[in-house]
Amino acid sequence: MARRRKLIVPGAERGVTAFKAEVMRKEGYDVDPERPDDVKYEVAEELGIPLRPGGGNGKLTTEEAGQVGGQIGGAIVREMIRMAQEKLSKRE
What's at 11, amino acid-wise? G
Q: Is residue 21 part of a domain?
A: yes
Q: What is the span of the domain harbouring residue 46?
A: 13-91
* Count of domains observed in the chain: 1
Cα–Cα dist 58/1, whole Å: 10
Asked whether 27 and 17 are in contact (CB, 8 A), the reply is: no
Q: For the whole model, what pTM was predicted?
A: 0.75
User: pLDDT at position 3, please?
Assistant: 63
C-alpha span between 19 and 27 (Å, rounded): 12
Residue 5 lies in a domain: no
pLDDT tens across 4-59, in order?
678 888 889 889 889 989 999 999 998 888 888 899 999 999 999 999 888 788 88
Supply the angle between the helices 62-91 and 39-47 in degrees, to the nearest 10: 120
Residue 77 lies in a domain: yes
pLDDT at 92: 64
Establish if 8 belongs to a structural domain. no
Q: How far is CA 91 from CA 69, 78, 80, 84, in A?
A: 33, 20, 17, 11
pLDDT of residue 88: 94
In a domain, 3, yes or no: no
The answer to the question of residue 1 being in a domain is no
Please check whether residue 63 lies inside any domain of the structure: yes
In a domain, 70, yes or no: yes
Angle of helix 13-26 relative to helix 62-91, nearest 10 degrees, comes to 100
Confidence bin at 63 (pLDDT 50/70/90): very high
